[in-house]
Amino acid sequence: MSWKKTDILMDTIRHYSGFPATGVSLRQMVQFGERPSTGTLFRASQFLSEELPIRLAHRVQELGDLPDGLNEMPSIKKVQDWYAQSFEEITTLPRPQLSKDVRDRLMKPAKQTGRQSKILAEATKNPSVANGQYTSSPWQNGNGNGSHEKKGSARRYFATVEDTEDWPPELHDYNQRFAQTLNHIKRRHDSVVTTVAQGILEYKRKRQRMQIDNNIQSFLDRFYMSRIGIRMLIGQHIALTDQSHHKDPTYVGIICTKTNVRDLAQEAIENARFVCEDHYGLFDAPKVQLVCPPNLNFMYVPGHLSHMLFETLKNSLRAVVETHGQDKEDFPVTKVVVAEGKEDITIKISDEGGGIPRSAIPLVWTYMYTTVDTTPSLDPDFDKSDFKAPMAGFGYGLPISRLYARYFGGDLKLISMEGYGTDVYLHLNRLSSSSEPLQ
Ligand SMILES: Nc1ncnc2c1ncn2[C@@H]1O[C@H](COP(=O)(O)OP(=O)(O)OP(=O)(O)O)[C@@H](O)[C@H]1O
């Protein structure tokens, strides 16, 4: 690994970090439809080739500015290098030379198919997020020089392009190369969560801290929220570009326009029970009852929903087993109730796992808070994929799940009755027009 970040690169990164990120909504992401054309994909690549470096640049700056020597921890420096290297790869990817005619055609919007697409194109404020909650620190936005405003109008994530004629092969080649670069970057960043966690552990050990302070907590919230957004845009773009295999027509990239809540919940229940049986050596994990209309479908990213359900169910099963003892024959049943409203789909997970003392409630949302005695190994090779996790251990399950929920305008709430059990409410916003919370 001979990659080195240069001063010139760091200057460019500083410049990009002066621009705010542009939030995209779930609805805007599905406007591409099942099979976007070469021209439309190219426009999206152009947007991403500016937007992703802006988002990456903010993270490089923030990692470098972390207080109290945290920025000097080897794992934090490693992650910062990944972000800088990915920034460089996107910004230096050669763009095709296009004739004026092709450039004009790319800028020409497709004939509107009605008023619908115009309405869909607008993102609204995310209802789960206070103003500026996940915004980068103001000093990093200080050198905005106004040119962003000019760029603003051209920088649209989704823009349909009139696609009646054939496009020159350079466009298709560029789309392929761009997607390959994104794929490579996505893999590089697979173990960011565990590596940053490692960095925090290094810091806690070095400074002999028991808990992380508010600054670091809100940095991690912003950092992981931003990571969800970057990976969403990258994952979506790779999936849209890859049109080689026949796909399910209900999918647009990684978004399913008819995500079936009952099927996903059932699968998450089975997976969580399996992990629980495995972990405690049980013949039969505590039972989970699911109450959900069978045909409840909505537009969402199935991977995100599975993750949130699996994490909360694992917590409930663990609490039930540990409160009632592993030798118990009949555990109390955990209930999962799904309600369909106009605005939200809400999933309540109620367990009789003894609850959480009120004084510990704020802590469950902090990173690295766990009541597991021995945190599993944080070897960076471990847990490479986002969605594979052990029974418990890092104290990341709840805070990260809440970020996933908030990312698309939902939320995650927890109410406990100490001595009895816990109710977790997972609100999923079905209007799906809210912007990503990262301006
Ligand atoms: N349903 C629940 N009942 C009782 N305690 C709970 C429940 N859910 C969470 N907790 C408490 O909150 C802590 C933090 O939960 P969180 O999911 O964030 O991390 P974790 O489960 O310890 O580890 P992981 O990162 O693997 O999820 C748990 O260790 C547990 O003490």
356 and 210 within one domain = no
Known catalytic residue at 246: no
193 and 221 share one domain = yes
| Residue where the block lists tokens 């704020």 | 362
Burial pattern 148-172, b for ≥16 Cβ within 10 A else e, equals eeeeeeebbbbbbbeeeeebeeebb
Note whether 91 and 171 are same-domain residues.
Answer: yes
Question: Is 175 a known active-site residue?
Answer: no
Nearest-atom index, ligand 1, CA of 389: 26
Band (124; pLDDT cuts 50, 70, 90): confident
Do 295 and 402 lie in one domain? The reply is yes
**Annotated catalytic residue within 189, 237, 314, 335:** 314
Mean pLDDT on 291-302: 95
- Whether pLDDT at 74 is above 90: yes
d(CA 83, CA 79): 6
Determine which residue's CA is closest to atom 27 belonging to ligand 1: 397
pLDDT score for 151? 44
- pLDDT average, residue stretch 368-385: 57
Q: Provide the H-helix boundaries in 108-260.
A: 116-120, 147-152, 169-188, 192-207, 214-241
Assess whether the C-beta atom of 370 lies below 6 angstroms from ligand 1: yes
Could you identify the atom of ligand 1 that is nearest to the CA of residue 365?
18
Active-site residue, 311 included: yes
Buried b (16+ CB within 10 A) or exposed e, 78-89: bbbbbbbbbbbb
- Choose the catalytic residue: 51, 88, 202, 311: 311
103 and 211 housed in the same domain? yes
> Do the domain assignments include residue 67?
yes
Q: Which residue is closest in CA terms to ligand 1's atom 28?
A: 370
What is the arrangement of strands in the sheet containing 251-252, beginning at the earlier edge strand? Answer: 251-252, 255-260, 297-300
User: Are residues 338 and 415 in contact, defined by beta-carbon separation less than 8 angstroms?
Assistant: no
57 pLDDT band, cuts 50/70/90, is very high
pLDDT of residue 50: 94
Mutate which of 275, 364, 378, 420 for ligand 1? The one with the most ligand atoms within 8 Å of its CB, which is 364
Q: What is the mean pLDDT of residues 71-97?
A: 95
* Ligand 1 binding pocket includes 375 (Cβ within 6 Å): no
Strand partners, 161: 109
Domain CATH code at residue 37 = 1.20.140.20
Q: Which residue has the higher pLDDT, 75 or 381?
A: 75
pLDDT for 370:
74
Cα dihedral sign, 10-11-12-13: positive
| Distance of alpha carbon 102 from alpha carbon 325, whole angstroms | 69
**Does the residue 298 lie in any domain?**
yes
> From atom 19 of ligand 1, which residue's Cα is the shortest distance away?
395
Is residue 429 within 8 Å of 343, Cβ to Cβ? yes
307 is catalytic: yes
How far is Cα 25 from Cα 193, in angstroms, rounded to an integer? Answer: 24
| pLDDT at residue 210 in the model | 73
pLDDT at 432: 73
- Mean of the per-residue pLDDT values of the chain: 85
| Inside any domain, residue 12 | yes
Interface predicted TM-score of the whole assembly (ipTM), two decimals: 0.96
Q: At 311, which CATH number?
A: 3.30.565.10
Residues 224 and 260 in one domain: no
pTM above 0.90, yes or no: no
Mutation choice for ligand 1 from 314, 315, 418, CB with most ligand atoms inside 8 A: 315
Furthest C-alpha separation in the chain: 75
> Which of 213, 236, 251 marks a domain boundary?
251
* 19-43 exposure pattern, b = at least 16 Cβ within 10 A, e = fewer: bbbbbbbbbbbbbbeeebbbbbbbb
In a domain, 410, yes or no: yes
More confident residue, 391 or 299: 299
Which among 251, 281, 316 is the end of a domain?
251
Using the mean position of ligand 1's atoms as its centre, give its distance from the Cα of residue 234 in Å: 30
Q: Is residue 143 part of a domain?
A: no
- The per-residue pLDDT for 352 is 98
How does pLDDT run across 129-170, given as a tens digit for each residue?
777 677 654 333 333 343 444 344 456 787 777 665 688 888
pLDDT band, very low/low/confident/very high, at 214 (cuts 50, 70, 90)? confident
Give the pLDDT confidence of 330-373 residue by residue, as tens digits. 999 999 999 999 999 999 999 999 999 999 999 899 887 777 76
pLDDT at 118: 47
Q: Which of 103-107, 233-237, 304-308 has the lowest mean pLDDT?
A: 103-107
Domain total in the chain: 2
Among protein residues, the one whose CA lies closest to atom 29 of ligand 1: 370
| Judgement on whether residues 247 and 322 belong to the same structural domain of the protein | no
Looking at the fold, whether 165 and 29 belong to one and the same domain comes out as yes
Residues 233 and 295 both lie in one domain:
no
- Ligand 1 center to residue 424 CA distance, Å? 12
Q: What is the pLDDT of residue 215?
A: 86
pLDDT at 121 over 70: no
Give the domain range for residue 14: 7-110+161-251
Burial of 97 (0-12, 13-18, 19+ CB in 10 A): exposed
Q: What is the pLDDT of residues 158-210, one digit of tens each?
A: 777 766 568 888 899 999 999 999 999 999 999 999 899 889 888 988 888 77
Q: Would you say 432 and 299 are in contact if contact means Cβ atoms under 8 Å apart? A: yes
Is 319 a pocket residue for ligand 1 (Cβ < 6 Å)? yes
What stretches of 211-333 show up as alpha helix (H) in DSSP?
Answer: 214-241, 261-280, 302-324
Same domain, 104 and 227: yes
Q: Which of 200, 227, 251 is the last residue of a domain?
A: 251
> How remote is the CA of residue 370 from the centroid of ligand 1, in Å?
6
| Residue of higher predicted confidence among 430 and 259 | 259
Residue 115 confidence (pLDDT) above 50: no
